[in-house]
């Protein structure tokens, strides 16, 4: 019978209450998912209800880290899905640092975040790290 189970994904802390777009200067890739769109001219758009896990690792989530983590997570998701090449990972990492700094994060904190994702976040861009759909019951 339809309706006797649900499909869901785990691992998300935050969800957009309204759409959000920003220029990421990754041009020439027109890609689309259910919740993300990257235009050919480099605008990354998130639809309302896009969910992401926020800053990862041994850190504290702060307001000056959320927008950077959103954009970083969105770009990594496009890489995991094979819609962007893995070679864009350094660009995503640099955007995390730069956007956090724009949003008021200290130079020191944004720099060690950047070094952390450069050194240790490569696994998060691999296809195996994309959350799988689960079923309950």
Could you tell me the pTM of the whole model? 0.85
Closest by CA position to 110, among listed 96, 122, 89:
96
Lowest model confidence (mean pLDDT) among 61-65, 87-91, 129-133:
129-133
Task: Return the pLDDT at 129.
Answer: 65
The residues spanned by each domain of the chain are 12-51+60-129
Average pLDDT over residues 90-108: 95
CA separation for the pair 23, 44 (Å, rounded): 6
Per residue, what are the HEC states of 14-47?
Answer: EECCCCEEEECCCCCCCEECCCEEECCCCEEEEC
Q: How many residues does the chain have?
A: 137
Q: pLDDT per residue over 49-86, tens digit each?
A: 999 988 877 778 899 999 999 999 999 999 989 999 99
Q: What percent of the chain has pLDDT over 70?
A: 88
Q: How far apart are CA 65 and CA 86, in angstroms?
A: 23
Please name which of 83, 71, 87, 90 lies closest in space to residue 127, comparing C-alpha atoms.
Answer: 83
User: What distance in Å separates the CA atoms of residue 69 and residue 46, rounded to the nearest whole number?
Assistant: 13
């Amino acid at each position: 019978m339809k309706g006797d189970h649900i499909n869901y994904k785990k691992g998300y802390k935050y969800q957009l209450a309204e759409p959000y777009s920003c220029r990421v200067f990754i041009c020439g890739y027109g890609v689309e998912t259910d919740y993300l769109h990257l235009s050919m001219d480099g605008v990354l758009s998130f639809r309302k209800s896009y969910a992401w896990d926020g800053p990862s690792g041994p850190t504290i989530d702060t307001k000056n880290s959320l927008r950077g983590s959103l954009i970083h997570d969105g770009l990594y998701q496009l890489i995991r899905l094979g819609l962007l090449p893995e070679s864009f990972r350094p660009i995503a990492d640099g955007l995390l640092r730069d956007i956090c700094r724009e949003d008021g994060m200290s130079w020191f904190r944004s720099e060690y975040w950047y070094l952390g994702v450069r050194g240790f976040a490569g696994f998060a861009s691999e296809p195996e790290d994309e959350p799988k759909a689960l079923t309950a019951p």
